[in-house]
Amino acid sequence: MKHTNKFDLDLAFGQKYENEFQKIVEGTVEIKADRLWQKTSNVFIEKESRGKPSGIEVSKARYWVFFLEVGKRKDQIFVGIPLKLLKKFVIGYPLKRGGDAYTSVGYVVPAKDLVDFYIQIKQFGEKQ
């Protein structure tokens, strides 16, 4: 019996997604770092600042990437979500004041919801 190896197929499959990720990184990406998420377990997604639209409402980025520090900056988690899906995802989460001097308004979203694939599928209405 001849041994067959699907390495070439697996390699092509992996390279397809490496190339897609490279396009995302080279495109318009907005990075959001939330210093308080480890204490609150939430991320703050700004939509208004000082009475004017800001953040998610005015961003031109294709993707928003959340930078979540783990421990003392030894490890990080990056969660990337297309902005058009993120705008749908935040609907229904509470709006609260936050940011510098509490002059911003934003959605308070549990960090776990950003990484919970089931919730994303349910919220976005996407199908595998």
Q: Which residue has the higher pLDDT, 108 or 128?
A: 108
On whether the CB atoms of residues 128 and 67 are closer than 8 A, the answer is: no
Across the chain, mean pLDDT equals: 82
- Nearest 5°: phi and psi at 106? -155, 170
pLDDT over 90 (residue 56):
yes
Residues in the chain, overall count: 128
Domain count, the chain: 1
Is 62 contained in some domain?
yes
Is 22 contained in some domain?
no
pTM of the model: 0.76
On whether the CB atoms of residues 46 and 29 are closer than 8 A, the answer is: no
Is 54 contained in some domain?
yes
Residues of the domain holding 73: 28-124
Percentage, residues of the chain above pLDDT 90? 33
Is 81 contained in some domain?
yes
Residue 55 class from Cβ within 10 Å (0-12 exposed, 13-18 middle, 19+ buried)? buried
Mean pLDDT of all residues in 26-55: 89
Is 120 contained in some domain?
yes
On whether the CB atoms of residues 116 and 45 are closer than 8 A, the answer is: no
